[in-house]
Structure 1
Amino acid sequence: MEFYANEGKDVLIQANGKIYARHAITTHFVQAGESYIDLVERYVKPVYQPGDILSSSEKVIALCQGRVVTEDQVRPGFWAKLLSRFVRQTAAGPGMGLPVKMQFAINTCGLGRVLWAAVRAGLDKLRGIHGTFYRLLGEEVRGLDGFYGEDIPEYKHIGIRVPRNPDMVCNEVYKRTGVVMMIVDANDLDVDLLGKGNQLRDWKQDQLLALIVDNPAGQNRQLTP
C-alpha cells in the first residue's frame, strides 16, 4: 500500500517510542445527514488492516448526526455583537470573534454565564493565561465550527456542533465494520481527543494524540477528514 500525506505533512511520525505511518484518506465532501458507517465502509475498509487506528474529524461525525445550526437559527443580538469585539483572533480562525458564534454561546449557556466567563477571561489575560473563556463555557461552545468560509466556503453560513456520544459512535463503528476508531478535534494549533472505542482503553489520551499532533488531516479543504 502506498501511503498518502497532505501537502506540508509527513507520512511518518515518531511517537510513544515508535515510528508510525499515517495515511490520509480522501473522501467526497460530506453533507449533513450522511451515514458515517457508509463512509467507513466505502473509504476506510478497502485500506484498513488489523492494528490500524482510524482518526476521524469530529466535524464529519457531527455532520452525519445532523448537528448543524444555520444563521437563521442564531441571529446575533446586542451582547453577542459587543462581546465578540473583544475576542482575539488566532491562526485557527476568528472563533467567538464572530457575533453569530458568540450568540450561539449565549443561547447555549445563558447570558449571565457568558458574561462571567468573559470577565474571568479578561482577568486571566492580564496574567498571561489564555483560553479561560472556552474552558468555562465547555466543549459545546469551544467545539463549534463553521460560520467561516475562508478555509471551507461551504461552511460560511452554517455552524457545526460537537458530535453526540463520540465514544458510542466509535463502538458502533467497530461493531458494524471492525474498524478501531477515535474522534478528534484538531487544527494546526491544538488537538483534542473527544472519543475512542473500547478497543483503545489501554491507550492514554496523550499517546493517541501524539499520533496526530501535527494535524495530518489539515484544516482547510483537503477532503481527508
Structure 2
Amino acid sequence: MSLTIILPIHNEKESLPIMIRLLNSTLKIEHEIIAVYEDDMDNAKSIGQELMREIEEFKIIKNKYERGVRFSIQTGIDFAKYDTIFITTVDEIFPIISIEAMYQEIIIKNYDFVSGTRYSKGGARLGGSIIGSFLSRLSNFTFNKLTKSQLTDFTTGIKMMKKQVWNSIEFNSKPIGWAFAFELSIKVIVANHKVCEIPFKSVDRLFGGKSTFKVGAWTLEYLKWFFYGILKLNIFKN
C-alpha cells in the first residue's frame, strides 16, 4: 500500500516547504512526493533541493518535456515508483485531508480513478479569481446536468488514479493551465474506468503567489472540452 504524490510547481517558494512538511508529517500511507519544476530559474528549485536533504520521501526534478502542467505531471509519473498516483497543486493544503479517503476508494473498493470535488457532498471553493471561480462553478454545474455524469467537478486538478489509467489516456489538450484535467475526467469515463469522487475544500492561493488564469485562452480551451465531453459522454450512454 503506497502512493506517489506529484506536485507541478511554478515559482512556489512560499508554498513548497509548507506543503511538503504537511504531507510528510500527516500521511500514514507509505509515500513519495515528487515536485516538478519547468525552469532552472524557478524560485522554488533551491528550496526544493534543501528539502530533499531534509526529507527522504521527497525529490524535486525538472520537467523533461515541453512546458505545461500536464508535461510536468507526465515527468513525475515517469519517475514514480508506486502504482497509485495523486495529483495536486502545491498551494492547496486542504485536499491533504481527503487523500486517505481517496486512497481507500482505490485500494479497498478497487476504483480506477477518484476525482476531488469542490461542488458536491460538502466540498467548497473559496478565494481566488472571482471570474475564474464563477466560470468553474457554472461550467461544472451545467456540464454535470447535460451529461448526467457521476462526477460534479471535472475541471479540478485534484485527482488520484492507478498509474495505468493515466498511461492509457491519449491527451490532445493544449498546455493551457489545467485543461488536461477536464480532458482526463471525460476520457476515463468514456474508457469505462470505474470512477468516483470525494469532496474537498479548496482555498486558492492561501500562501500567496500569482494565478496564471487568463480568461481568453483558458475559456476557449475549456469550451472545446466542454462540447467534446457533452458529445462523447452522451454517445457513451447510448
- Structure holding more helix per residue: 2
Tell me the TM-score normalised to structure 1 length: 0.27
**For the pair shown, which has the larger CA radius of gyration, 1 or 2?**
1
TM-score (norm: length of structure 2): 0.26
- Give 1 or 2: higher strand fraction: 2
